[in-house]
Amino acid sequence: MDTKLTVVVVEEDRDRAIAIVDALKDSVDCDVFVISEASGLGRKIAVHAPDIVLIDVDNPTRDMLEELTLASGPLERPVAMFVSGAAGGLAQAAIEAGVSAYVVDGLSPARIRPVMDTAIARFRMVRQMRSELAETRRALEERKVIDRAKGLLMKAKSIDEDAAYALLRKTAMNQGRRVADVAGAVVTASGLLG
């Protein structure tokens, strides 16, 4: 009963995978394997005969794992998606944190719990980092577009930088749009006209 759990993590990003493996090993007595490539996913998972498979909710290859939930799957033993299990609100918490899990039927909720708690905490952190990164990137992109629009306006209207920005901001406010969107329109229009 108390044999070591085998956990497979499907994750392309090496750093994220390492972070998840470390977190799992620190808190649960388990063997963790990482699969990073989508090709032959079912076969690769079957090699490890895992008790639990963890995968990012946003990973498109998740659908391949759904095959394992059918009895004839490559694991050759019944696998149920975790969310169908009896472990209460854990499923929803997992999905909100960005992780989905596939668990071999018959594994007791008490043994699933620590793995899931750790995975949920780790995925939540990773997800937050990722959305912050995306936000930073977007802000940078917008910065660039606004700078180009400012430059175009300065040249076309012979005004200084502050006046160019004020013009962008005023137009955005009048039209109920974001400054970055107005700047994007200026850049596009200038491309068409120029």
Partner 1 sequence: MRTVEISVAFMPLVDAAPLIVAQELGFAETEGVSLDLVAAPSWSSLRDMLAFGRVDAAHLLSPLPVAMALGLGGVSTPISAVSVLSANGNVLGVGRGLERRLRDAGYGFDFADPVKAATALAVAGNGDRDRDRNGPIIFGVPFPFSMHVELLRYWCAGTDLGETGIEIRTVPPPLMADALAAGDIDAFCVGEPWGSVAVDQGVGALILPGRSIWEFAPEKVLAVRTDWAETEPDLLGRLMRAVWRAGRWLGNPDSVGAASNILSRKTYLDVPAELIDRALSGDLTVSASGDQRRVDHFVEFHAGAASFPWRSQARWIANRLRQSHEPAGGVSLDAAAAVFRSDLYRRHLAASGADLPGASEKLEGSIRHPTAVASLNGGTILLPDRFFDGRIFDPSGVE
Query: Whose Cβ is closer to partner 1: residue 17's or residue 80's?
Result: 80
Binds partner 1 (CB under 8 A): choice among 17, 27, 48, 67: 67
Q: Is 81 in the site for partner 1 (CB under 8 A)?
A: yes
Query: From the CB of 82, what's the least distance to partner 1, in Å?
Result: 9
Q: Give residues 91-110 in contact with partner 1 (rule: CB under 8 A).
A: 91-92, 95, 100
- Alpha-carbon distance of 70 to 76, in angstroms, equals 10
Instruction: Point out which span in 39-47, 120-128, 150-158, 167-175 binds partner 1 (CB under 8 A).
Output: 39-47
Query: From the CB of 69, what's the least distance to partner 1, in Å?
Result: 5
Confirm if 31 and 54 have CB atoms less than 8 A apart: no
Query: Whose Cβ is closer to partner 1: residue 22's or residue 76's?
Result: 76
Query: Whose Cβ is closer to partner 1: residue 55's or residue 115's?
Result: 55
> Strand, coil or helix: what is 156?
helix
Binds partner 1 (CB under 8 A): choice among 39, 140, 191, 192: 39
Confirm if 29 and 79 have CB atoms less than 8 A apart: no
**Cα distances (Å, whole numbers) of residue 123 to 53, 66, 77, 114, 127:** 14, 20, 27, 14, 6
**61 Cβ contact partners less than 8 Å away, ≥ 6 residues apart:** 10, 38, 41, 55
Task: Please report how many Cα atoms fall inside a 13 Å half-sphere around the Cα of residue 28, on the Cβ side.
Answer: 24
Q: Is 136 in the site for partner 1 (CB under 8 A)?
A: no
Confirm if 19 and 126 have CB atoms less than 8 A apart: yes
List residues near partner 1 by CB under 8 A.
38-40, 42, 57-67, 69-71, 80-81, 83-84, 91-92, 95, 100
